[in-house]
């Protein structure tokens, strides 16, 4: 049967579960944590988070057609749903993961897991664009890469699909190991080891330990691991695992990529070689780092025997991700919306994009704070100055306590820079500034809500 489903026997295997009014012949083909997506016959899992509690929507879930629900033991007595089909568990998030593990065990295709400090979403999108040329596949939507998003992606796959491509995210120790245990990767790739979330890990060595868990999970199954040979933390792992594919621009033995040039519009032209194939492709997305992401995806595709024609076509047809170096043209120039998130590495990559776009006279960067950098935050913000000063005709607008350190450093070298002490002040500066014939990068960590300044700029020139 192509459709994967969970039956009563599966549900009884949940650790410590208590079943109430669950039909013997029940078959669950849809699982939801959101009443807005409930379909008839669905299993509703009541998830409790910091700002919401799914238990408050149990009755609504049943009204919309849910066949049964999973609730926590702590909340069950107060729900007054004694006649409904209910699974009572200690922890509903844990139960969601266990259900996903059961679902994954019934999947007959290959599971590909991608993680890393930077570039995991881009690599996932390139790989999905390549594989779907010939094969039915499911991939993580947007960045649904956590304890809830990964299981919900698993539930989308059926045995009509050949591949399940999963992005795994983390900001605390043990999360990659937990997710890897659920999804049991057949192929695993780590893009790089950087400073993202270093506040919680303390060092890159600890980040490596966290990311390495996906390799260990794949190796346990006799699977294949893909190692970035350019990364000094990852390269030594070549000797640890049996089935290894390396990729990189410098020292890879399996798949190598060379950036030939960046065209005047800022798009990278990449040459890729490996597995007795060689080809050149102009990527439709910004950034040299996009070249590395494309190479990582191509390494997996080449190892799977995908033709170079399909790889090139897939790479050329990838769609720019929302708020990730996303180009937004306006009457006077070009906005580069990179407001999804920020780390020191992704900041430098974005500056490089701005520097390489030759089709506009003026260059602007509007920057908000980078988060989760711990005690190193002031120094890491200040260190951005060296790369900014390499951009011709650059002007800078900053906002945030840590960006003040960058502002002071740029002032020392007489770079045109203005710091705003409030959001209202920055909005006013944007309204008063002439951005004619300009490319404008807007970037900051998720919590800085820099997308509001993108909207303000678009509104100014609509």
Residue spans of the domains in the chain: they are: 6-92, 107-316, 326-460
Report the predicted TM-score, pTM, of the whole model to 2 decimal places. 0.84
Give CA–CA dist 147/189, Å, rounded.
19
393-396 long-range contacts (CB < 8 A, ≥24 apart) are 393/361, 393/362, 393/363, 394/354, 394/363, 394/364, 394/365, 395/362, 395/363, 395/364, 395/365, 396/364, 396/365, 396/366, 396/367
The pLDDT value recorded for residue 52 is 83
Q: First and final CA of the chain: distance in angstroms?
A: 52
In the DSSP assignment, the letter for residue 135 is S
Residues 266-310 have pLDDT tens digits of 899 999 999 999 999 999 999 888 999 999 999 999 999 999 999
CATH class, domain 6-92, is alpha beta
pLDDT at 1: 57
Q: Mean pLDDT score of the chain, rounded to an integer?
A: 93
* Per-residue pLDDT, 436: 93
Please tell me the predicted confidence (pLDDT) of residue 166.
98
pLDDT at 143 over 80: no
Handedness of CA 226, 232, 235, 240 (dihedral sign): negative
Higher pLDDT, 151 or 170: 151
Residue 197: pLDDT over 70: no
Q: How confident is the model at residue 200, as a pLDDT? A: 58
Question: Which is nearest to 214 in space by CA: 102, 98, 120?
Answer: 120
Pairwise CA distance, residues 84 & 87, whole Å:
10
Contact between residue 239 and residue 144 where contact means Cβ atoms under 8 Å apart: no
Distance separating alpha carbons of residues 187 and 27, to the nearest angstrom: 30
Q: For domain 326-460, give the fold.
A: 3.90.190
| Mean pLDDT along residues 162-190 | 94
Whether 186 contacts 107, CB under 8 Å: no
Specify whether domain 107-316 bears CATH 3.90.1150.10. no
Answer yes or no: is pLDDT of 106 > 90.
yes
pLDDT at 265: 83
- Separation CA 29–CA 60 (nearest Å): 20
Checking if the pLDDT of 247 tops 70, the result is yes
**Tens of pLDDT along 39-66?**
999 999 999 887 889 999 999 999 999 9
Strands, E, within 339-378: which ranges? 362-367
Please check the confidence at residue 447 and state whether its pLDDT lies above 90. Answer: yes
């Amino acid at each position: 049967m192509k459709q994967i489903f969970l039956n009563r026997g599966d549900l009884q295997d949940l650790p410590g579960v208590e079943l109430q009014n669950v039909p013997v012949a029940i078959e669950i083909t849809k699982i939801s944590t959101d009443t807005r997506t409930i379909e008839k016959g669905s299993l509703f899992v009541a998830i409790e988070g910091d700002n919401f509690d799914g238990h408050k929507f149990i009755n609504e879930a049943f009204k919309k057609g849910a066949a049964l629900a999973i609730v926590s033991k702590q909340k069950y007595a107060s729900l007054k749903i004694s006649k409904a089909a209910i699974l009572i568990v200690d922890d509903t998030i844990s139960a969601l993961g266990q259900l996903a593990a059961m679902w994954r065990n019934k999947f007959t295709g290959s599971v590909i897991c991608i993680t890393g400090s930077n570039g995991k979403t881009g690599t996932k999108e390139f790989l999905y664009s390549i594989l779907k040329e010939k094969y039915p596949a499911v991939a993580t939507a947007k960045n649904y890469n956590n304890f809830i998003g990964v299981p919900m992606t698993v539930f989308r796959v059926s045995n009509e699909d050949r591949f399940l491509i999963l992005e795994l995210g983390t900001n605390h120790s043990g999360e990659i190991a937990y997710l890897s245990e659920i999804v049991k990767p057949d192929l695993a790739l780590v893009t790089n080891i950087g400073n993202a979330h270093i506040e919680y890990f303390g060092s890159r060595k600890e980040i490596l330990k966290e990311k390495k868990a996906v390799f260990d999970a794949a190796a346990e199954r006799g699977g294949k691991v893909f190692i970035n040979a350019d990364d000094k933390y990852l390269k030594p792992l070549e000797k640890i695992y049996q089935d290894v594919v390396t990729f990189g621009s410098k020292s890879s033995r399996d798949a190598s990529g060379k950036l030939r040039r960046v065209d005047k519009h800022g798009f990278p032209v990449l040459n890729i070689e490996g597995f007795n194939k060689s080809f050149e492709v102009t990527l439709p997305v910004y950034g040299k780092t996009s070249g590395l992401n494309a190479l990582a995806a191509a390494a997996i595709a080449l190892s799977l025997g995908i033709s170079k024609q399909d790889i090139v076509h897939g790479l050329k047809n990838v769609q720019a991700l929302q708020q990730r170096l996303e180009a937004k043209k306006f009457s006077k120039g070009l906005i580069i919306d990179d407001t999804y998130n920020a780390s020191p590495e992704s900041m430098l990559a974005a500056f490089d994009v701005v520097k390489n776009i030759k089709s506009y006279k003026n260059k602007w960067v509007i920057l908000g704070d980078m988060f989760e950098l711990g005690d190193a935050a002031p120094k890491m913000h200040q260190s951005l100055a060296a790369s900014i000063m390499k951009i011709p005709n650059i002007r800078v607008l900053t906002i945030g306590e840590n960006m003040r350190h960058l502002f002071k450093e740029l002032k020392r070298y007489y770079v045109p820079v203005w710091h705003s002490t409030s959001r209202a002040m920055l909005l006013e500066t944007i309204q008063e500034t002439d951005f004619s014939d300009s490319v404008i990068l807007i970037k900051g960590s998720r919590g800085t809500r820099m997308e509001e300044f993108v909207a303000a700029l678009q509104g100014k020139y609509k």
